[in-house]
Amino acid sequence: MNKTILVKAYFKDTNETQKKPAIKPDVWGSSDAHPKTPKNDKTEVQKPESCVDSERLERDLGLALVSLNGSGYEVHSIVPVISGAYSYQFRDDEITSSPRLMGDTEAVAGGVSYGYGYGYSYTDSLIVIARKMTS
């Protein structure tokens, strides 16, 4: 008998350092300037969507393996689930061309065209496939 477990991957938290007041001199260069208080005096936490927390993923995978082994299962395979994101932009400002009367070339008129695109992938989760051990 087989059993599967989904181990979700999470993105890393990036902790910014505590924001400290910056002393800004006044317009005349006076040292009596008051410190500017930060808008948020707590540490800000941001979740980027490009860096998987591999240490947490390893811990979560280890817990899943211990659970399976404790229930009498042997791991058969671990399969990554890959997700991704992309963006692109294309613009075509109606470029026209017409043959020239006195030569083998074309006259081109109109706007500018351009295009670009990018994409990336990341590990979304792991699927652990295990088989019940027979005695």
Average pLDDT (31-58) is: 64
Q: Give the model confidence (pLDDT) of 59-110 as tens digits.
A: 999 999 999 999 999 999 999 999 998 999 988 777 777 887 777 788 777 7
Average pLDDT, the chain: 79
Provide the sign of the torsion angle of the four alpha carbons 49, 55, 60, 65, taken in this order.
Answer: positive
Distance (Å, rounded) from C-alpha 131 to C-alpha 50? Answer: 33
Q: Give the model confidence (pLDDT) of 112-125 as tens digits.
A: 778 899 998 989 99
Average pLDDT (31-57) is: 63
Helices (H) and strands (E) in the chain, counts: 1, 9
pTM: 0.58
Strand 96-99, strand 73-92: pairing: unpaired
